[in-house]
Structure 1
């Protein structure tokens, strides 16, 4: 059975990108714990591969996955991963029960949202934009409690 760690270390672009997106979207400790234990090796080995990318660098997505693992290791809330990656759609995050959308602007390609993390209560101002793809920029308002507190 192939693990995400195997995929990260495979030097095969499609396998590495599979591991990247699984990591970015996961909140499962059984999935993330083995990767956290291997974080120094992942940082050394997985970052050696040029992952390409047409509009947005896939190496930036890899870096985001590694940052998520470090944040998880350090006990930060799951929502700490939202800033820094433009693909976290607040509507999908709400559908998964990860945030509550508190308000939105008028519908359109340049919408704004206010969202609140359902775990720690962190509130974000979220700007939606569109160039070659629809993106979302998450900006936290102040600091809230850490994962597991309160």
Structure 2
């Protein structure tokens, strides 16, 4: 068993959330591949856990991590993970060479971005908002593409 799988199955909310965020952030095939067949076990082990969350339920982040594993298993590009979660800051994604910011609106709390995935080339319109916390809504311009052969 991997350390992340141990964390997911631990029954400890803090360990589950650690594994959740590590999974969401990872593009390491060696880290993600062993988790894919364990998704049903992870769901069963975490279904009754109170993961907390004040403004946004942490259960949504766990669901997103498990969806990412399903997308990875289906061969979808990493950028598929941007859709449906509000935590991916385009500037941070560009800093780690995951996207290229093609254009932006005028700076401000309601800023917009146009970003291009550096893996598959798919373009996203990204809306930035701020209501209790800064968030980013990613909308693809076209269909999610497959990852290059792995």
Aligned pairs for 1:9-24 within 5 A: 9-24=9-24
Aligned pairs for 1:95-114 within 5 A: 95-114=95-114
TM-score (norm 1): 0.95
Aligned equivalents of 1:118 and 1:23: distance in 2? 20
Aligned equivalents of 2:2 and 2:15: distance in 1? 10
TM-score (norm 2): 0.95
- The aligned residue for residue 138 of structure 1 is 138
| Matched residues, number | 149
Provide the alpha-carbon RMSD of the alignment: 1.4
Consecutive unaligned residues of structure 1, counting only runs of 5 or more, are none
Q: Is the 8 A contact 1:123 1:141 kept in 2?
A: yes
Aligned equivalents of 1:19 and 1:131: distance in 2? 27
Q: Is the 8 A contact 1:47 1:59 kept in 2?
A: no
Q: Secondary structure at the match of 1:48?
A: coil
Change over 3 Å in CA distance of 1:79–1:2 after alignment to 2? closer
Consecutive unaligned residues of structure 2, counting only runs of 5 or more, are none
The answer to whether residue 109 in structure 2 is matched with residue 117 in structure 1 is no
